[in-house]
């Protein structure tokens, strides 16, 4: 007799039945062997689906088939909520193609592990213990609710995302109407920018991007708010909704995310402003107020938003280096932002501070951070830097471009930011495939990717004698 958690298999199956139970068995096997492999498989299938849709003549404004490398690059960029483009979103894609891109952004923004959990729930008609643990790992909800409540939390994630995006669209649509756009077009642009901003995607439906609105706070402020909220991550948003300003009730993750995010945003805006103050090609000829707006906008967007008001090729070399650092840092964990995540940076700096003081424990906000978290943080940084270095080396050989442009594009792809020097569009197909792979690896996450590629997990049955090597 099957248990209540099992779906009995009929004795006779039609074609659809075989597909359904085959998919169910595949999901069950992947979930049992490795949740990371399940996430990778689901994400890969989603990208394949959107690549096929974008290749269709209906997706192109010209009515022809889009080359595979362009369709794949755009699908990966949309699902990985990056924003890098090789063709103009406004002119190359039809309305149907833009809708496909927007749906890809929304699906990708929900998160890979959350997406895998939802697929497991939909296909197998249950959310078992492994599925709940998978969703819990995705949203970092160990301290938010009990294991049995994860199904509810998944619905909260989707509901919260849609509510924020609707609010942003309601803020943006009236402004586009005031600027003279027809109602249908203004509504579409409001929805598109709302979803793109909250999911930190950076796609724009205008051929000239946000340049015409570079001094329009009615558009820039909602975009910055959407990107900022999206970059915090669902665990932080849930804590803020639940406890609001009762900081003593906040989790350590929420405190670290908000603290480091605020520091990077303020410091990044100040340094960007100083470096670009006299650059006539960017903000040198503007008034003080506009310079302040541009610097704050740039600081928010460089950590995964992807929208830009100035040509990235015109930035000072020092500003490009600053942008590289902010992009690599990224936003919060379990968020729509990319990068190595701000909590990773926090753990590393706290470990350095503890070592400098001679403390044996790494502490923050009255809590001790376990050693395992430090090992994961180090792994994320090293694997991330390795992937960026390998991709940069490949692209240097493929393109023959200068190092600063290639490194900028590589970090933007890995950190799923979307800022570009237009190198992506200039690359040959093999270069676009390299960047697409880098976007995929950056969005999936270096630790998840490494775990998914691990053939098997080994239990440590014994330990060698301890001996400390000389460091430094």
Residue 311 has pLDDT above 80, yes or no: yes
- Could you tell me if residue 459 is inside a domain? no
Confidence (pLDDT) at 444: 83
Residue 10: CB partners within 8 Å, gap ≥ 6?
Answer: 17
Percent with pLDDT over 70 in the chain: 80
**What is the per-residue pLDDT for 120?**
47
Q: Mean per-residue pLDDT for 137-151? A: 49
Calculate what percentage of the chain has a pLDDT beyond 90. Answer: 58
Comparison of pLDDT for 117 and 363, the residue scoring more: 363
> Could you report the per-residue pLDDT of 416-467, keeping only the tens digit for each?
999 999 999 999 999 999 999 999 999 887 666 655 554 445 667 777 888 8
Q: Which pLDDT value is given to residue 125?
A: 45
For residue 335, pLDDT over 50 is answered with yes
Instruction: Report pLDDT for 287.
Output: 93
The pTM of the full predicted model, rounded to 2 decimals, is 0.86
List all residues 6 or more positions away from 149 whose beta carbon is below 8 Å from its beta carbon. Answer: none
d(CA 172, CA 216): 11
Domains identified in the chain, total number = 1
User: What is the 3-state secondary structure of 90-124?
Assistant: CCCECHHHHHHHHHHHHHHHCCHHHHHHHHHHHHH
In a domain, 192, yes or no: yes
53-79 pLDDT tens trace: 999 999 999 999 999 999 999 999 999
Give the model's pLDDT for residue 112: 59
Mean pLDDT of 104-120: 68
Radius of gyration of the chain from Cα atoms?
A: 23
Residues 6+ apart with CB under 8 A from 185: 176
Per-residue pLDDT band at 371 (split at 50, 70, 90):
confident
Cα–Cα nearest to 277, from 307, 220, 316: 316
Q: What is the mean pLDDT of the chain?
A: 84
Instruction: Kindly give the interhelix angle for 429-444 and 35-55, rounded to the nearest 10 degrees.
Output: 140
Model pLDDT for residues 230-258, shown as the tens digit of each residue: 999 888 888 888 888 888 888 898 999 99
Per-residue pLDDT at 143: 46
Residue 204 forms part of a structural domain: yes
* Rounded average pLDDT over 294-314: 93
- What range does the domain containing 252 cover? 17-452
In three state form, how does the secondary structure of 380-440 look?
Answer: HHHHHHHHHHHHHHHHHHHHCCCHHHHHHHHHHHHCCCCCCCCHHHHCCHHHHHHHHHHHH
Mean pLDDT of 260-287: 95
Instruction: Assess if residue 403 is contained within a domain.
Output: yes
DSSP 159-195: HHHHHHHHHHHHHHHHHHHHTT--HHHHHHHHHHHHH
Confidence of residue 16 (pLDDT cuts 50, 70, 90): very low
pLDDT band at 148 (very low <50, low <70, confident <90, very high): very low
């Amino acid at each position: 007799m099957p248990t209540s958690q099992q779906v009995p298999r009929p004795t006779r199956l039609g074609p659809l039945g075989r597909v359904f139970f085959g998919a169910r068995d595949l999901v069950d096997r992947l979930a049992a062997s490795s949740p990371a492999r399940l996430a990778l498989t689901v994400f890969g299938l989603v990208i394949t689906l959107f690549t096929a849709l974008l290749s269709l003549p209906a997706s192109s404004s010209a009515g022809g088939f889009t080359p595979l490398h362009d369709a794949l690059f755009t699908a990966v960029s949309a699902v990985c909520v990056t924003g890098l483009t090789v063709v103009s979103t406004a002119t190359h894609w039809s309305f149907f193609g833009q809708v496909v891109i927007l749906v890809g952004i929304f699906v990708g923004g929900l998160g890979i592990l959350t997406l895998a959990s939802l697929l497991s729930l939909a296909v197998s008609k249950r959310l078992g213990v492994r599925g709940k643990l998978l969703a819990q790992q995705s949203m970092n909800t160990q301290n938010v609710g009990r294991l049995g409540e994860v199904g509810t939390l998944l619905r909260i994630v989707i509901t919260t995302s849609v509510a924020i995006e609707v609010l942003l669209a309601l803020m943006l649509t009236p402004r586009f109407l005031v600027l003279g756009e027809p109602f249908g077009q203004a509504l579409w642009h409001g929805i598109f920018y709302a979803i793109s901003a909250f999911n930190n995607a950076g796609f724009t439906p205008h051929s000239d991007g946000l340049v015409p609105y570079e001094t329009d706070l009615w558009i820039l402020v909602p975009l910055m708010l959407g990107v900022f909220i999206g970059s915090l991550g669902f665990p932080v948003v849930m804590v803020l909704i639940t406890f609001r300003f009762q900081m003593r009730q906040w989790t350590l993750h929420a405190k670290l995310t908000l603290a480091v995010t605020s520091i990077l945003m303020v410091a990044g805006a100040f340094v960007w402003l100083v470096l670009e103050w006299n650059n006539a090609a960017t903000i040198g000829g503007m008034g003080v107020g506009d310079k302040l707006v541009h610097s704050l906008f740039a600081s928010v967007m460089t950590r995964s938003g992807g929208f830009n008001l100035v040509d990235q090729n015109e930035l000072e070399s020092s500003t490009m280096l600053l942008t590289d650092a902010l992009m690599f840092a990224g936003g919060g964990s379990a968020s729509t932002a990319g990068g190595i995540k701000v909590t990773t940076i926090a753990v590393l700096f706290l470990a350095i501070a503890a070592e400098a003081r001679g403390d044996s424990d790494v502490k923050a906000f009255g809590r001790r951070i376990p050693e395992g978290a430090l090992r994961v943080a180090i792994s994320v940084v090293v694997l991330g830097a390795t992937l960026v270095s390998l991709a940069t080396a490949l692209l240097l050989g493929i393109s023959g471009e200068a190092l600063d442009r290639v490194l900028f594009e590589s970090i933007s792809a890995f950190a799923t930011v979307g800022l570009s020097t237009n190198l992506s569009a200039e690359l040959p197909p093999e270069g676009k495939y390299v960047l697409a792979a880098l976007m995929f690896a950056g969005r999936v996450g270096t630790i998840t990717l490494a775990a998914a590629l691990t053939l098997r997990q080994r239990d440590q049955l014994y330990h060698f004698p301890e001996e400390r090597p000389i460091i430094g």
